[in-house]
Amino acid sequence: MGTQLKPGIAQPALILAALCLCLLPARSASTDTPEPSKYIGPGSCAATSCHGSVKPVAGSRIYQNEYSTWILEDKHSRAYGVLTGEVGERMARILKLESKAGDAPKCLACHALYSAPEQRGRQFEMGDGVSCENCHGPASAWLGPHTTRDWPHEKSVALGMHDTRNVIHRTEKCLECHLGTKNKFVDHEMIAAGHPDLFFELDSFSAVMPRHWKVPRESAPGKPAEDAAWAGVRDWGTGQAVQLRGEMERLVWRARNERFDKKDVWPEYSELSCFACHHSLGPAKDSWRQAHGYEGRRPGDPAWNSSRYAVFRLLAKQIDSGNGQELDKRMLTVSNEMSKLNPDRAAVANAASAAVPLAQQIAERLAAMQYDQAVTLRMMQRITDDAENIAIADERAAEQAAMAIDSLYIAYARDTKPANDAEVRGAINVLFQQLENPSSYNADQFAVALRRIRPMLH
Ligand code: HEC
Ligand code: HEC
Ligand code: HEC
Ligand code: HEC
């Protein structure tokens, strides 16, 4: 067991390692053929000297209270519980699942560490919900070594840890559950049975989780520290690009009927604008939809849900105009085709798959570029300048704009608080108020509220 402990290691690290190792399942020495990595459960990380401290530990590179944060504040620790609760059980009945939701692979896939039985270690518990190893990868191979002093992150990654430090990989990890894959998904059938619709934005969702990691990360020797404020802007932008890529990949497998059970419905309603079908009707003269016409589609055909693109396209063009314009062409095809009653599968698949590498290139640029106050200001200005287009796109697009302005403004105002800070924050709150009742969302009112922020930004 002790092969990874180098002689002469400093005392505190030794104690730490010893305390954590007692929870480890037996594992062969590194010279033997490695066993397949196993999931060993969050209990293995919970020792007070590892990640289970009640408070952040002073002077430590990491907080060391990650477990406490997860179990007390993070909804992921209760993700299994919602399946066995009233809503989960009701959903299972409506969907006529063969078992209760708490036993159904269809639900466990995202609400627990649902892994192959041979990958489950002794301490594994389905009831732990979405736990450390859902995001950080199976730990049996790296749990021991990663407690040793100066053990590099890269070596853990080589042993099966997910590289969540890389913001692109991090977003991909979140999106496995917050957008879905061909093996696990939330479709309109599930939504109609009571599941919340899925939407995502990396920076806001990380804040809500809440984050159990330091921003900025302490710099590695010889490398500059991450800049705290601009890390949020980078996360927002990169997250947007990865999200669009993920959505295009999802459209491709849906269009090609590659879902694991080959039972795809086409068009799948959850790809469309929810409130095209689900809004309240009033007198014709009061309808903003009728007033704006139905650009790019026949009146009455439900539009594609463009929320993952309506805001991001502005950013894409700002930082990479070549790829941004190319992407725009593909997305116009996707949007026009998906906004027909019976979209052509091949046309959608072709345009969406052509958009994937473009979104990836933009993601890479966004992950690597330098941010500052001027860039952030321009991003906010572009969004407010485009208020009308975003607003009529969809309620969900408006929601992305509100989250974007909120994230960007927090970063923008972090170090030098603008004199009109209270006024701007009040105006951002108004955006969120406009979204409180999505079925009675009004595009014209939202556009006014978003545009109102423009002159406040300088
Ligand atoms: C693709 C991943 C995925 C699958 C599959 C999935 N869920 Fe979810 N579920 C989520 C996510 C993500 C959320 C949180 C959504 C949010 O708040 O943005 C959630 C939220 C919920 C909630 C609301 C929880 C709350 O705190 O209000 C319930 C209930 C639920 N899911 C039940 C189910 C059931 C039952 C199934 C199986 C029929 C299922 N889920 C399958 C990802 C999934
Ligand atoms: C929903 C996903 C998720 C869950 C669940 C989760 N983490 Fe994390 N964790 C992250 C992300 C994302 C980061 C930040 C990215 C990074 O810097 O690696 C992070 C960062 C960390 C860090 C800091 C790493 C560093 O080098 O700064 C530690 C330590 C950590 N997590 C431990 C845990 C433990 C222990 C648990 C379970 C009790 C847990 N995490 C559960 C996603 C998750
Ligand atoms: C294995 C699937 C899975 C992964 C990976 C995952 N989540 Fe979740 N997430 C869920 C489920 C399921 C819920 C719903 C839990 C509940 O409501 O009890 C949820 C809920 C949340 C919530 C609470 C939403 C709300 O409405 O309050 C936030 C925030 C969140 N996730 C952020 C993230 C972030 C950020 C990442 C990536 C670092 C991530 N998640 C990765 C499955 C996942
Ligand atoms: C093309 C039209 C269409 C689109 C787009 C659509 N739905 Fe539906 N939805 C329906 C129909 C039809 C029903 C069944 C209503 C009934 O039987 O009363 C339904 C049912 C529902 C229900 C259950 C009914 C209720 O009153 O509680 C919910 C919730 C729901 N949809 C949410 C959504 C969400 C969220 C989206 C977007 C992700 C969406 N729908 C997209 C047509 C649509």
pLDDT tens-digit series, residues 325-381:
999 999 999 999 999 999 999 999 999 999 999 999 999 999 999 999 999 999 999
| Count of CB atoms situated within 10 Å of the CB of 416 | 9
- For residue 225, the model assigns a pLDDT of 58
Atom 28 of ligand 4: nearest residue by CA position: 192
Write the Ramachandran bin of 163: left for phi over 0, alpha for psi from -120 to 50, otherwise beta: beta
Q: How far is the CA of 199 from the centre of ligand 2 (A)?
A: 21
Provide the residue count of the chain.
458
Vertex 189: Cα angle to 112 and 83 (nearest 5) = 25
Q: Is the dihedral of CA 295, 297, 303, 306 positive or negative?
A: negative
Establish whether residue 272 lines the binding site of ligand 4, counting it when its CB lies within 6 angstroms of any ligand atom: yes
Give the pLDDT of residue 61: 87
Q: What is the pLDDT of residue 106?
A: 96
User: Quick check: bond before 117 cis, omega within 30?
Assistant: no
Q: Is the CB of 184 under 6 A from ligand 1?
A: yes
270 Cβ closer than 6 Å to some ligand 4 atom: yes
Quote the CA–CA distance of 209 and 69 in Å, as a whole number.
Answer: 9
- Please indicate whether residue 278, judged by its CB atom, sits closer than 6 Å to ligand 4: yes
Decide whether any atom of ligand 2 lies within 6 Å of the 69 Cβ: no
Spans in the chain with pLDDT lower than 50: 1-31
Instruction: Return the pLDDT at 156.
Output: 94
Ligand 3, atom 9, residue with closest C-alpha: 76
Residue among 16, 123, 213, 235 to mutate when testing ligand 2 (max atoms within 8 A of CB): 213
* 107 CA distance to ligand 2 middle (Å): 23
Tokens of residue 155, six digits? 């070596």
The pLDDT value given to residue 4: 35
pLDDT recorded at residue 17: 39
Question: Best mutation site among 191, 273, 305 for ligand 4, i.e. most ligand atoms within 8 A of its Cβ?
Answer: 191
Instruction: Report the separation in Å between the CA atom of 132 and the middle of ligand 2, taken as the mean of its atom positions.
Output: 7
**CA-CA distance, 394 to 303, in Å (whole number)?**
9
Ligand 1, atom 25: closest residue by C-alpha: 82
| Contact assessment for residue 257 and residue 420, using Cβ atoms and an 8 Å cutoff | no
**End-to-end Cα distance, the chain:** 60
Q: How far is the CA of 436 from the centre of ligand 2 (A)?
A: 31
What is the number of other CB atoms lying within 10 angstroms of the CB of residue 12?
Answer: 10
In Å, what is the CA distance from 442 to each residue of 22, 183, 436, 437, 438?
A: 59, 36, 11, 10, 9
Cβ neighbourhood burial of 217 (10 Å; 0-12, 13-18, 19+): middle
Residue 301: C-alpha distances to residues 56, 272, 440 (Å): 53, 10, 19
* Residue 88 · residue 82 · CB < 8 Å: yes
Q: What local confidence, expressed as pLDDT, does residue 24 receive?
A: 42
- Using only C-alpha atoms, the chain has a radius of gyration, in whole angstroms, of 24
pLDDT digits (tens, 9 = 90+) for 214-248: 987 665 555 555 677 789 999 999 999 999 999 99
Query: By alpha-carbon position, which residue is closest to atom 6 of ligand 2?
Result: 132
Quote the CA–CA distance of 396 and 402 in Å, as a whole number. 10
Give the per-residue pLDDT at 228: 72
